[in-house]
Amino acid sequence: MNFEKLIDYFKLDKQEFYFQFSSHPNYPSALAFSDTLNFLGLNNDAYELDKEFWDELPEEYIAVVDHSFSLVKKKGNQFTIYSDKIKNITKEELYKNSSEFVLLFEKTESTKKNSSFSYKPIIYSVFGLIILYSLLQLSWYETVFNILSLAGVYISLELFNQKFGQESAVVNNICGGTAKNTILSSCSKIFSSDKINVLGLKLSDFSLVYFLGIAFMGLIFPDAQFILRITALISALVIVYSLYVQFFVEKSFCRVCLLIILILLSQIGISELYFSWGSSLGIVFISIIVFASLFFTLAFFNNLLNEKEELKRSNAKNLRFKRNYDLFKRELLDKEKIEFSDNNTFFVGNKSAKLHLSIVSNPYCGFCKDAHKIVENLLHQYPNDISVQMRFNYSPDQQNEKFTHLISDFMHTYKNKFEREFIELVEYWFETRDESKVRQKAGTTSSNENLTPVVNMAIENKNAGINFTPIILINGYQFPDKYDREDIYYFIGELIEDEDFLA
């Protein structure tokens, strides 16, 4: 499935989306798609809705159009569809080519943005400097030769990255068509029929070695025209092989391959017309070192990235098992339920929510910061569906004066200010770890608050056998040790909807 335009529209992290989607226990179902969007901060609800009611839908929603999850934006009787590409269709076409599944969403500030690093600005800058240097220092035919080499480097690099799941708009646009796979059908057939394999490198990988090598030699060693001429002539063998595969084996042509062939033929023509045969043993030796180094370096990274992709696929399969809600629920209910008598102190969220979380922590515990962050994120994402009690382990007999002042500041803020201010104060403490700053933010001057409820909570925690922090409880059941605390994000939606568990 291809969600490129949809992901771009919502500015989601592309790699994170595909990983979370593929690792969902119900992949590739609508539930997996909906849960993935929820996890990435795009809150949504799914419905089966008769087409006669679609006129009542909002201006933006997600539907299954042409068997693909697509964002639908309506403007009167015209609809814009975002899926593997962007297209405009009529109302009649939409209703004819879509199922009755619709997903209504709400964009929030917590939507996770695309955080992956883009190397392209750096590549463009380097290419620009090389072209500028060639224009100023080299002859026109050497400059054209180098520009062709850079074009070959760029296309070959796009092909190399595409092997590891990175979508290439350049390659797709050159290939044309509207196929849903990463490399379009005609190009895919040609690449898959390539039987060359040397240390894991295919013919398309060798093109990257070739163009990088001649680009380096043409830029650094202007006297290496003999080497460039020889390598250009050798590339004629690759041209013959590629054309043979396209027109006699697969009987179809690949536009990317033909573009590379055009670059190679142009370089052969320039080298034959303008490059000399003069050379030296030193240049020959250096060129061998350069091409060999590039070959083994690319082979190393190719194997490394292959291993990474294999681990990612294996991890995704394992996570489908780990994120199975029925297994999680069984582990959650495996331990005895803990009942606390005080469920009101430091109580936040929806008071009437059926799903209640308790976090047992210590403000001076290093690991408690991340646990509190998880709870605060859940409160932000599900303000109407959950409630939370923060149960600090505090005993006046064992704690210093600073701890007492801190808990007193928490209590003062909780009793006298808005709930949001109390949550922000706790978050502020874990960010700064500075009692004086917390006191200043709380606006307190003394520590006269009654801390008996906090002391009683700590006693209850100890009597329940909760001696280590942080601990998260869900409706009195301790979060399973076999799961990471962050895994609660994957199950919170199903917990909210599980009537048996909430009963």
Residues 101 and 168 in one domain: no
Compute the distance between CA of residue 238 and CA of residue 319 in angstroms, rounded to an integer. Answer: 43
Report the candidate in 342, 377, 365 with the shortest Cα–Cα distance to residue 470: 365
What is the DSSP code string of 239-261?
Answer: HHHHHHIIIIISSS--HHHHHHH
Residues 83 and 170 in one domain: no
Report the candidate in 39, 38, 40 with the shortest Cα–Cα distance to residue 103: 38
Residues 208 and 294 in one domain: yes
Residues 170 and 285 in one domain: yes
Please report, for the domain that includes residue 21, its CATH number: 3.90.70.10
Tens digits of pLDDT across the chain (503 residues):
567 777 877 888 777 788 788 877 778 788 888 888 887 878 788 888 888 888 888 888 888 888 888 888 888 778 888 877 788 888 888 888 888 888 888 765 444 544 455 667 888 888 889 889 888 888 899 889 889 999 888 888 888 877 776 666 666 666 654 444 444 456 666 666 666 777 777 777 888 888 898 888 888 887 788 888 888 898 888 888 888 877 777 677 777 888 888 999 999 999 889 888 877 788 888 889 988 999 999 889 888 888 887 887 777 777 777 788 898 999 999 889 999 987 789 999 998 999 999 999 999 888 899 999 999 999 998 989 999 999 998 887 766 788 889 999 999 999 999 999 999 999 999 999 999 999 999 888 777 788 899 999 999 998 988 878 899 999 999 999 888 899 999 899 889 989 889 87
Domain boundary (78, 107, 136) is at 107
Domain boundary (72, 107, 142) is at 107
Domain boundary (107, 141, 164) is at 107
- Nearest-5° angle of CA 463, CA 467, CA 470? 125
Residues 238 and 153 in one domain: yes
**Helix/strand/coil percentages in the chain, nearest 5:** 55, 15, 30
Residues 445 and 363 in one domain: yes
Both tokens assigned to 114? 């695309």
Domain span at 410 = 336-502
Residues 195 and 147 in one domain: yes
Residues 366 and 233 in one domain: no
Residues 124 and 103 in one domain: no
Number of domains in the chain: 3
DSSP at 344 = -
Q: Is 194 left (phi over 0), alpha (psi -120 to 50) or beta?
A: beta
Beta bridge partners of 75: 78
Q: Is 56 inside a domain boundary?
A: yes
Contacts of 271 (CB under 8 A, 6+ apart): 145, 225, 228, 229, 232, 233
Please report, for the domain that includes residue 373, its CATH number: 3.40.30.10
Q: Is 115 inside a domain boundary?
A: no
